[in-house]
Structure 1
Amino acid sequence: MLGHTVVAFVDNIMVGQLGTAELAAVSLGNSFMFIAMSLGIGFSTAITPLIAEADAEGNFEKGKSSFKHGLFLCAILAAFLVAGVFFAKPLMYAMKQPVSVVDLALPYLNLVTVSLFPLIIFQAFKQFSDGLSLTRYPMYATVVANVVNVVLNYMFIFGKWGAPELGMIGAAIGTLVSRVIMVLYLWFLLYRKEKSKPYVTSIKLFTLSKAMLKKVFNLGFPSALQMFFEVAIFTAAIWLSGILGKNPQAANQIALNLSSMTFMVAMGFSVAAMIRVGNQKGLQRFDELRRIAFSIFLLSTILAVVFAIFFLLFRELLPGLYLNYDNPLELMDNTEVATTAATLLLVAAVFQISDTVQVVALGALRGMQDVKIPTIITFVAYWVVGFPIMYYLGLFTDYGSMGIWIGLLAGLTVSGALLFLRFHSLSKKLANSGTLKSIS
């Protein structure tokens, strides 16, 4: 999971050397991508609990059917999302963003949008692999993709080793090529593994069951909305920062990219919760389900505290990774961006725990195939509580960028508390009754 964000981290650091306008443009372009990615990644998570449950039951046919139908729906969704981002590009000019930033962002977005298709296909294979507890193979594929991305970025952003100097477009080329390689390499790894080979070969993708399509969709669509509601609130922070100006938007991108990396580590624990809870659901061992889930809550929260301390200690130094202080023309802008980003990292440090709790709780609830109530919770937390706070404090008070992030903190905290209580209540009811019939 961290590997997805490392791609953006590398892009941001390398593009940041070109200037704050280029960094803001990458931020704006990726904000459209984040929304589409959230829907694709969120939908694909429906595959994992179904595979985990079938794996625990030893039911190969059920598992392969779940994967095949999930892969088919992910491919359809990916095609629609790519088209949707292309059609939505003109909205950039209507969102009160700096025109110079929009002009830079559009060519970058063209190539990165195409990379969305292989990314979501990869995600379908990844969620399947996770469901079989084969979590190393997606990690290997992601590591390879990141190495490819770094090399191609260096070549095409700065014009090294005989390649043309393409600036931001070079970063987009690196992202696209690395994502194609990522999905091909993961398929190759799964093909070589005896446990997974029967699943990833002889896939009759167009021989489909209406009942199974409905089952995957009913799990995937609410899961997609859950991730969409969260990513959209962070995207709203990007857009609101753009209204404040180029430098606040660049600072927001730095703080967002750093906090996204720690969030992806928490997402890894969320996947672990989804797999193990799905296993125990298949075995109907509900006391073990609770024990495993609370162990993951404890471990991930300890790690969140470590990340919070890291942000507090190094908030002044971390923004410097993204900025080029050797350029005298950009020195004033870079100093302002670094100062603002350091302030935002204070808030990011505080919400490490609530962000971790809410995403791990979502993973555990998905493992129990409980998705409808959590979807309502995430909407209320982010858009009824969080967004009004960030909108008012960010645009109508002197808090500015800090006010936007205080709204994020409020939404994440409410989400974390309510989702944890939902899991505790639901799993306790199952453990006490010893039957799945307790889930309404």
Structure 2
Amino acid sequence: MNKYFKEFRYNFNLALPVIAGMVGHTLVSVVDNIFVGQLGSAELAAVSLGNSFVFIGMSIGIGFSTAITPIVAEFDSQKNIEKGRSAFQNGLALCTILGFALFFLLVAAKPLLRFMNQPEDVVKLAIPFLDIVGFSLVPLVVFQAYKQFADGMSETKYSMFATIIGNVINIVINVLLVFGLLGFPKLGIVGSAIGTLVARVFMVLYMHYILAKKEKFKPYFTRFGWQSFEKRMAKKIIALGIPSSMQMFFEVALFTGAIWLSGMIGTTSQAANQIALSLASITFMFAIGLSVAAMVRVANQKGLQDYKKLHTVAHSIFLMAIILELIFALLFMIGHDFFPKLFVNLETQASINDTAEVIGIASKLIFVAAFFQLFDGMQVVVLGALRGMQDVKIPTVITFIAYWIIGFPVSIYLGKYTNLGAVGVWIGLLAGLGAASILLYIRFRHLLKNKL
């Protein structure tokens, strides 16, 4: 075990800024939920419904952008600046195109909101929120291109700074526009959406400014623009990016399906689902940070063709993930009754029954989430290692089987056809994540065995 423990410090230093940035990134949505939750359960359910569409687009965009990291990391280990520059600039161009495409697809999909058996008042509130947050996908995906490039260069702190400042901007705008303070108009959930959009635009501007002026990155910004488009590199990014985006899409779509199923059960179940999902998303970002560390370090060792070191590095990160997720599982079990109270207004007498029901359901969901922390963390960290090895096709098939052949049918049956309700939906999530973590690790072991 000592050889794994020796890697912990380097892993931690690489992953910590990513974790901080990703937690901050998730806090944009959590902050929105906390502020909107003070308005009522219908408003919170509307944000949940609107974000369920946005999260699908976000998963495709973020998943696609992850193709940039292992390519850049491999060329960085080989000191090949020209190839690294091509990977960055072509990745940025492709992400920009994808961001606009996702926004237009989201606009085209809006009519589906009225055909999903969701409460009518929730749908009416969700539509204007969706318009604004949907457009924020454009700067979000562009930001991801800059972030994945910096991550591939083992410089993970810049995206962290961008996200932290973006969060401050989002909180200030939420305070002013959700409740109409200091003379600003009271816009409710639309004000929350505006905060998200402004924060994400700032994050793009910050990343371009800070990277372009740093000496280490200046060679990568030469001949910067569309004229740098290179067909061969673009094909390589697409070949890795599309399966990676599908992997993330399958998982996010599973959780989106859970949102829709909860909405069919009732508004309080949907609001409770959003509370539990917000909390689980925060802890998941820690696993994402370790996943990025796995992707970068595995890609570095792949570039050097040192597969013994790759084995040690990867398993040291897997071990870190297990330890971390066990801590979170314990935290969720201890605080499952307390955490939901942070998301609702306990002083509103008019909706006191709904609020009590939301808290009760959310408490049970958080307890279930405690158990799938371990599997959720492991599957994303192993996926990071597989992406570092540029193995994406078979893992895409594995994630589809785990989430949609195993997980979602369990969610449907237990959620709709038993008395478990929303709790049954989350047991299905647990089943899907468990299957994914086991099958992906088997795939990683098989690949590594052939290299050693």
1:341 to 339, 362, 367: 362
- 1:37, 1:393 → 2: CA distance? 28
| Matches for 1:12-411 after TM superposition, within 5 Å | 12-411=33-432
AA of the residue aligned to 2:407: G
Q: Shift in Å at residue 52 of structure 1?
A: 0.2
- 1:64, 1:388 → 2: CA distance? 44
Structure 1 residues not aligned, in runs of 5+: 432-440
- 1:106, 1:240 → 2: CA distance? 19
SS of structure 2 residue aligned to 1:160: coil
AA of the residue aligned to 2:419: D
SS of structure 2 residue aligned to 1:351: helix
Q: Shift in Å at residue 192 of structure 1?
A: 2.5
Match of 2:7 in 1: none
Q: Shift in Å at residue 161 of structure 1?
A: 2.0
The alignment's TM-score, normalised by the length of structure 1, stands at 0.97
Query: Contact 2:288 / 2:380 at 8 angstroms: preserved in 1?
Result: yes
Q: Shift in Å at residue 214 of structure 1?
A: 1.0
Q: Shift in Å at residue 211 of structure 1?
A: 1.5
AA of the residue aligned to 1:317: F
CA deviations over 1:176-229 (Å, ceiling 9, x no partner): 000000111111111232111221353132442222111110000000000000
Q: Shift in Å at residue 429 of structure 1?
A: 1.8
Query: Contact 1:54 / 1:62 at 8 angstroms: preserved in 2?
Result: yes
- 1:429, 1:412 → 2: CA distance? 26
RMSD: 0.8
SS of structure 1 residue aligned to 2:226: coil
- 2:428, 2:55 → 1: CA distance? 19
Q: Shift in Å at residue 344 of structure 1?
A: 0.4
SS of structure 2 residue aligned to 1:162: coil
AA of the residue aligned to 1:3: G
AA of the residue aligned to 1:270: S
Q: Percent same amino acid among aligned pairs?
A: 56
- 2:24, 2:387 → 1: CA distance? 22
Query: Contact 1:187 / 1:200 at 8 angstroms: preserved in 2?
Result: no
The alignment's TM-score, normalised by the length of structure 2, stands at 0.94
Query: Contact 1:378 / 1:415 at 8 angstroms: preserved in 2?
Result: yes
AA of the residue aligned to 2:50: G
SS of structure 2 residue aligned to 1:272: helix
Structure 2 residues not aligned, in runs of 5+: 1-21
AA of the residue aligned to 1:174: G
Query: Contact 2:81 / 2:219 at 8 angstroms: preserved in 1?
Result: no
- 2:178, 2:217 → 1: CA distance? 38
- 1:391, 1:347 → 2: CA distance? 16
CA deviations over 1:118-175 (Å, ceiling 9, x no partner): 0000000000000000100000000000000000100111111221111111101100
CA deviations over 1:299-350 (Å, ceiling 9, x no partner): 1111101110110000000000100010001111010000000000111000
Count of aligned pairs between the two proteins: 431
Match of 1:434 in 2: none
- 2:371, 2:170 → 1: CA distance? 32
